Amino acid sequence: MKCSLFLLISIFANMAIAQKSYPTMGKIIYEDPAFEKLLPKDSKIEVLASGFEWSEGPVWVKDGEYLLFSDVPKNKVYKWEEKTGLSVFLEPSGYTGLGVYSDEPGSNGLIIDSKGRLVSCEHGDRRISAMPLNIGGKITLADNYEGKRFNSPNDVVEHTNGSYYFTDPPYGLMKKHEDPTRELPYFGVYRIAKDGKVSLQVDNLTRPNGLAFSPDGKTLYVAQSDPEKAIWMSYPLDADGNAGKGTLLYDATFMLKKGFNGLPDGLKIDKDGNLWSSGPGGMIILSPAGKLLGRIEMGELTSNCAWGNEGSTLYMTVDGYVCRVKTNTKGAGW
């Protein structure tokens, strides 16, 4: 009888979780008929948690089935899971110094690397760090280029060859691009090789931000969050992983002139090479050729996104919210 009762309780508990209802927000705009194959017209954008100052850097932890994300101004990483909801995972997340550093001192972009570590872009400590999830304790992967400290690492990705690429705009500095503690003359895109050597890959972007690889790993996409030139760039990678000459993939500056709020920021790639990126109005979805397929209008500034669950759920950090929408595709390499 005890076993039967326990079984019934488990069944009802699982049913309650499966039937849990979340508030919704936003709307989906279909710019091209092909977008309906990726995101059905009855899709709902669920709000999972709220009350954050600026949510960023979502990443899904497969071994544990939960979401991690940054609240950059609060210097925290939060954990969200379906069964238990929200909790603080890591504090401090990106600044371990004394006193007030800036209005964005915490971690920004996060990934789980091939070694199962949480890799963080840390604004305040101006570095890329790695931390085992099960035991904690960070190591620095890189904190300078040719002896000069980074500005404020923003977003990071790992290539299948084991190297990391990251962007370094000024957003974490107290006075941004005019901050007197700046040591580098540009806002670069960098690569950390497997041997730890740091190389500058792109030095001519004004505000490099989110980045991602094509499914075959031969192309690097970089979003630029400059209101004067709100664009996504495409860079071919050679056999050694070095970026070649960039080409313009899509220019969304006209959307800003139409009154849309937000800039190109964090992005992810699906299995067919489509780009899902935060941008003017919310989320922008582009084909590999740079064709606008659709938009997800969120009504709030949208910072980043990540694939989760079985690979077809897109999690989004939207100003003070964390949201998700179920798609008909999957993340690249899922």
Question: Tens digit of pLDDT for each residue in 41-85?
Answer: 999 999 999 999 999 999 999 999 999 999 999 999 999 999 999
- Output the pLDDT for position 296: 98
Question: Tens digit of pLDDT for each residue in 25-43?
Answer: 999 999 999 999 999 999 9
Distance (Å, whole) CA 79 – CA 252: 32
DSSP letter at 242? -
Residues of the chain with pLDDT > 70, as a percent, come to 94
What residues form the annotated binding site for a divalent metal cation?
Answer: 56, 154, 209, 265
The residue-averaged pLDDT of 222-233 equals 98
Question: Tens digit of pLDDT for each residue in 276-307?
Answer: 999 999 999 999 999 999 999 999 999 999 99
22-326: what CATH class?
mainly beta
What count of Cα atoms within 13 Å lies in the side-chain half-sphere of residue 54? Answer: 15
What residues form the annotated binding site?
Answer: 56, 154, 209, 265
Total Cβ atoms within 10 A of residue 156: 24
Distance (Å, whole) CA 78 – CA 115: 21
Distance (Å, whole) CA 241 – CA 261: 34
The residue-averaged pLDDT of 146-166 equals 98
- Output the pLDDT for position 179: 97
Residues acting as catalytic residues: 265
Mark 40-56 as b/e (b = at least 16 C-beta within 10 Å): eeebebbbbbeebebbb
Q: In residues, how long is the chain?
A: 334
DSSP bridge pairs for 114 = none
Q: Which amino acid is at 289?
A: A
Structure tokens at 254: 């006209």
pLDDT of 2 over the 90 cut:
no
pLDDT of 19 over the 90 cut:
no
pLDDT of 5 over the 90 cut:
no
- Output the pLDDT for position 20: 80
Residue showing tokens 């490099």 = 208
pLDDT of 10 over the 90 cut:
no
Q: pLDDT band for position 136 (50/70/90)?
A: confident
Q: pLDDT band for position 134 (50/70/90)?
A: confident
Distance (Å, whole) CA 196 – CA 163: 9
Q: What is the pTM of this model?
A: 0.93
Question: Tens digit of pLDDT for each residue in 180-203?
Answer: 999 999 999 999 999 999 999 999
Q: Among candidates 165, 164, 170, which has minimal Cα distance to 149?
A: 170
Structure tokens at 30: 């279909």
Average pLDDT of the chain, as a whole number: 94
Question: Tens digit of pLDDT for each residue in 254-282?
Answer: 999 999 999 999 999 999 999 999 999 99
Residues of the chain with pLDDT > 90, as a percent, come to 93
